[in-house]
Amino acid sequence: TPAFDVAALRRDFPILDQNIGGKPLVYLDNAASSQRPRAVIKAISDYYEHDHANVHRGVHALSQRATDAYEGARDTVRRFINARDVKEIIFVRGTTEAINLVAQSYARPALKPGDEILISALEHHANIVPWQFACEQTGANLKVIPIDPSGEVDFAAFEKLIGPRTRLLALAHVSNALGTAVPVEQFIAVAKRHGVPVLLDGAQAIAHAPVDVQALDCDFYCFSAHKMLGPTGVGVLYGRQQLLDAMPPWQGGGDMILTVSFEKATFNQLPWKFEAGTPNISGVIGLGAAIDYLQGIGMQAIAAYEQQLLEYASTQLQTLPGLRIIGTAAHKAAVVSFELDGIHPHDIGTILDTEGVAIRTGHHCAMPVMDFFKVPATARASMAFYNTFEEIDRLVAALKHARTLLG
């Protein structure tokens, strides 16, 4: 098999070819948002130059074209995650909105006082707060599966926590704060035995390995386009058709209705029942182009290369005295969270920026994870397939520089 041609792939990403403070940019903040290849940018500008009109309502040519492109992208998404039907693909603003939709339209009507929603201690705030809302609204309780010091979700504790009152398990597929790849299949198998539906937060998984919702046997899967080479402000809720059919609409407005009088409205069928208002048409088209691009490389190839980057980064970072990697699960995505000699991560990030190296510092919207490891924040390098081994070396050199300045 040919070597992964990262140099050729990088040429597809114009933004990577720039200097920051006189030094070539090293972009290692991919878990927050990835960059876009020209093919995605072009798909969006082509759409605006040639095909834009509102979808679904027009008989004229442009509206037909826009609708075909929008609905075509839905089928691209369906194939990408191997959903059975396009009815199961709901376009939303992102992972956050997808989870809120399920919390309000699936969980809230189903929850009775004393019922339980189960999450883990490594969730992003987007997979915590919507459940807190649903619990407050219904008198249900939020239960949390603990994590262990390596950043794994405690499976034995989960088996004890799940029970007759559990109404839903909502779990990260991959942790954004630590990189832990959660062995969700095991959790799902147990949940199924208890008849408990499972939502996966796939925000950090979708761009880094193949995802097959049928093989996973999950009931909901949520992700954001902007973390997988697509535009901001658009994402996907996958839901099992049977569940989506039974759920009431979440937001009311145009496109989600069949008929409206002042007494009553009847609702459109799936997937439009959940897509009130003019959608992010260009964003959806950009997402479709992003998926085409990812599939052109191959998700297996991407996963394999990123694992090499992860291994190299973990090994090289550990050569730095005083550096502690936080999150050492056996299976991880290419995310390395760390602290260095007690230097505040914000200061590390600031110095790294002067070296052209972009990392994220902070709580990564996962404050309970920070609490568990008793740190206010971490520095986090998160990689994509367009990163190189040389860039990891640049990261390590910049950290050495930061240590001499601040240590």
CA pseudo-torsion sign 40, 42, 44, 47:
negative
Nearer to ligand PMP, 44 or 207 (CB): 207
Minimum CB distance to ligand PMP, residue 208 (Å): 12
Does residue 176 bind ligand PMP (CB under 6 A)? yes
Nearer to ligand PMP, 299 or 365 (CB): 365
Nearer to ligand PMP, 111 or 333 (CB): 333
Does residue 203 bind ligand PMP (CB under 6 A)? yes
Does residue 172 bind ligand PMP (CB under 6 A)? yes
> From CA 132, how far away is CA 37, in angstroms rounded?
37
Site for ligand PMP in 121-160 (CB under 6 A): 124, 126-127
Nearer to ligand PMP, 76 or 204 (CB): 204
| Diameter of the chain measured on Cα atoms | 71
Does residue 219 bind ligand PMP (CB under 6 A)? no
Span of 42-50, 197-205, 312-320, 389-397 interacting with ligand PMP by CB under 6 A: 197-205
Whether 218 is catalytic is no
Span of 5-13, 67-75, 91-99, 247-255 interacting with ligand PMP by CB under 6 A: 91-99
Minimum CB distance to ligand PMP, residue 146 (Å): 18
Among positions 30, 95, 105, 282, the unique one binding ligand PMP when judged by CB under 6 A: 95
Minimum CB distance to ligand PMP, residue 119 (Å): 12
Does residue 180 bind ligand PMP (CB under 6 A)? no
Among positions 26, 90, 94, 158, the unique one binding ligand PMP when judged by CB under 6 A: 94
Three-state SS string over the chain comes to CCCCCHHHHHCCCHHHCCEECCEECEECECCCCCCCCHHHHHHHHHHHHHHCCCCCCCCCHHHHHHHHHHHHHHHHHHHHHCCCCHHHEEEECCHHHHHHHHHHHHHHHHCCCCCEEEEECCCCHHHCHHHHHHHHHHCCEEEEECECCCCCECHHHHHHHCCCCEEEEEEECECCCCCEECCHHHHHHHHHHCCCCEEEECCCCCCCCCCCHHHHCCCEEEEEHHHCCCCCCCEEEEECHHHHHHCCCCCCCCCCEEEECCCCEEECCCCHHHCCCCCCHHHHHHHHHHHHHHHHHCHHHHHHHHHHHHHHHHHHHHCCCCEEEECCCCCECCEEEEEECCECHHHHHHHHHHCCEECEEECCCCHHHHHHHCCCCEEEEECCCCCCHHHHHHHHHHHHHHHHHHC
Six token digits for residue 174: 């991959």
Six token digits for residue 212: 């097959």
Query: What does the per-residue mask of binding to ligand PMP show for 222-261, with x meaning CB under 6 A?
Result: --x-------------------------------------
Minimum CB distance to ligand PMP, residue 324 (Å): 22
Q: Which of 135, 218, 222, 365 is catalytic?
A: 365
Span of 44-52, 200-208, 305-313, 353-361 interacting with ligand PMP by CB under 6 A: 200-208
Nearer to ligand PMP, 225 or 343 (CB): 225
Among positions 30, 35, 96, 100, the unique one binding ligand PMP when judged by CB under 6 A: 96
Does residue 361 bind ligand PMP (CB under 6 A)? no
The footprint of ligand PMP (CB under 6 A) covers 94-96, 124, 126-127, 172, 176, 201, 203-204, 224, 365
- Write out the catalytic residue numbers: 365
